[in-house]
Structure 1
Amino acid sequence: MRVISVLGVQSTGKSTLLNTMFGLQFPVASGRCTKGAFMTLLNVKENFQEELGCDFILVIDTEGLRAPELASLGDSNEHDNELATLVVGLSDITIVNLTMENKTEMKEILQIVVHAFLRMKQIGKKPNCQFVHQNVSDVSAKSKITRENKLLLEQLDEMTEVAAKMENYNDITQFSEIIDYDIERDNWYISGLWHGVFPMASISTGYSENVKELKMHLLKFIKQKPHSDSCSINEFIEWIRSLWNAVRHEKFIFSFRSSLVAKKQRI
């Protein structure tokens, strides 16, 4: 079995992306909820099982990150960090959904994700990560995309250095040191689903084409992974138990709102 997950602030775009890519029926809503995560087990057709090296693909859709419903609770940030760490730890591929709707919340999600990948490095696990930028008005503007990719990498490097120092990894200063990341290969820009105002708007063919390209890339990555890296359902269940115990009892930094906020509090 292989595991693909998606992280990000809950929006219609995130669940719609998975529904379109895999033909799923995850709930789609304009608001945010606090259900934790939705999971669906996909059966791989027999003629593709040997090629992909697995019989099933598990797709996880996280819910509730940065949810307003949890903001009043004292441990809401700890909830987000624990959920992100658990999902990243379970996954072979993590899709980080970056909508253009609220860049402040997106930065907070990135800080959570950096901590999660750093914790996985501590236990020798190095999942793949794909950044999906949704609702982009002009995906053909190559110069703009290049600038945004470089800015994203600068932010990830800064967050990684701060997070590493907080967890006593003073020799780690770059995001690429905790995960195999390529600025050109691992960023995807997807236009909005609709042309015009819903419900009278038409569906964008460009959206479907972009999602198909991403899906093909994910399947190519799975094909290239050693078949021995795949796990059985029983092994996956045991890994969930072990990882959850580690999340709940190890001394990970879960209580801070973000790495940068934690840094300011320590100064």
Structure 2
Amino acid sequence: MFGLQFAVSSGRCTRGAFMQLIKLSEEMKKDFEWDYILVVDTEGLRALELDGNATIHRDNELATFVTGLGNMTLVNIFGENSSEIQDVLQIVVQAFMRMKKVKLSPSCVFVHQNVSDVSAVEKNMDGKMKLLEKLDKMAQLAAKEEECDANSFSDIIEFDVQKDVKYFAQLWEGTPPMAPPNPGYSESVQDLRKFILSKASKSPGVTLSAFRSKVHDLWNALLNENFGVQLQKHS
């Protein structure tokens, strides 16, 4: 991702969460109030090669920890079907409703990979509205369970359906290994990078000591949660 040296391969290769501290160049520091960006990479969620209640519990716990830890979470989805990740996010939302003592400011950006036609504006807009409808519905279900005053997903996790959903075409033009890279994919990556930095520039940043305290508080809150419970399914 953007030249970072995280371990990648097909399937679920990463175990747990890995962090990398990226130092800003002197030129970039002029536009920001901080000196570093912390990037956290997690293992894939709902992997086909792993199944069972233990995996579901681990996925829910990991997703909640990472989403609560960061200012922005990139939700990477293969294709346009986000139903599986929505189940995870429903658990995350409900957990955040319970963590009233932990100061959280999460936000989400959905990145759909391998979309056949990224230029289909009407189709993509329809997909965005369906995604928003499902996210809001699951937030309402979680709010009802927790007796929390929340009517939409964005009441818990910052999210703008018009800006925070991105579509990427396939990486290759044709069939690998002889297929050339798709220039549209590279353009989408550059646009996403600019988008991330633009949103990040509005953040005041955090000191290492404050970040350490946040990790401590969030982890203690997670230990009190029951992530094995599956919430009501949404259609």
TM-score, length of structure 1 as denominator length: 0.79
Superposition pairs for residues 218-229 of structure 1, below 5 Å?
A: 218-225=196-203, 227=204
Deviation of 1:40 (Å): 1.2
Q: Which letter maps to 1:82?
A: E
Partners of 2:100 and 2:140 lie apart in 1 by: 14
Aligned pairs, how many? 234
Deviations 1:20-64 (A, max 9, x none): xx3112222221146111221111112322421111111111104
**RMSD of aligned Cα (Å):** 2.3
* 1:187-237 CA-partner distances (Å, limit 9, x unpaired): 111111111122111111101101111111111111122x2xx11223322
Higher helix share: 1
Q: Which moved more, 1:105-114 or 1:138-147?
A: 105-114
Counterparts of residues 204-243 of structure 1 (less than 5 Å): 204-225=182-203, 227=204, 230-243=205-218
Aligned to 1:206, the other structure's residue is in SS state: helix
Q: CA deviation at 1:159?
A: 0.7
Matched, 1:108 2:98: no
Q: Secondary structure at the residue paired with 1:98?
A: strand
Local SS of the residue matching 2:150: coil
> Is residue 100–residue 135 contact of structure 1 (8 Å, CA) maintained in 2?
yes
Tell me the CA shift for residue 103 of structure 1: 4.8
| Residue aligning to 2:172 | 194
2:21 match: secondary structure: strand
Are 2:114 and 2:169, in contact at CA under 8 Å, matched by a contact in 1? yes
- Aligned identity (percent) is 45
Normalised TM-score (structure 2): 0.89
Query: How far apart in 2 are the matches of 1:143 and 1:109?
Result: 28
Instruction: Name the structure 1 match of 2:229.
Output: 256
User: Are 2:57 and 1:85 aligned?
Assistant: no
AA matched with 1:188? K
- The one of 166, 169, 174 aligned to 2:145: 166
Question: How far apart, in 2, do the equivalents of 1:97 and 1:121 lie?
Answer: 28
Task: Report the CA distance between 1:238 and its aligned residue.
Answer: 2.9
Secondary structure of the corresponding residue to residue 203 of structure 1: coil
- The equivalent residue for 2:222 is 247
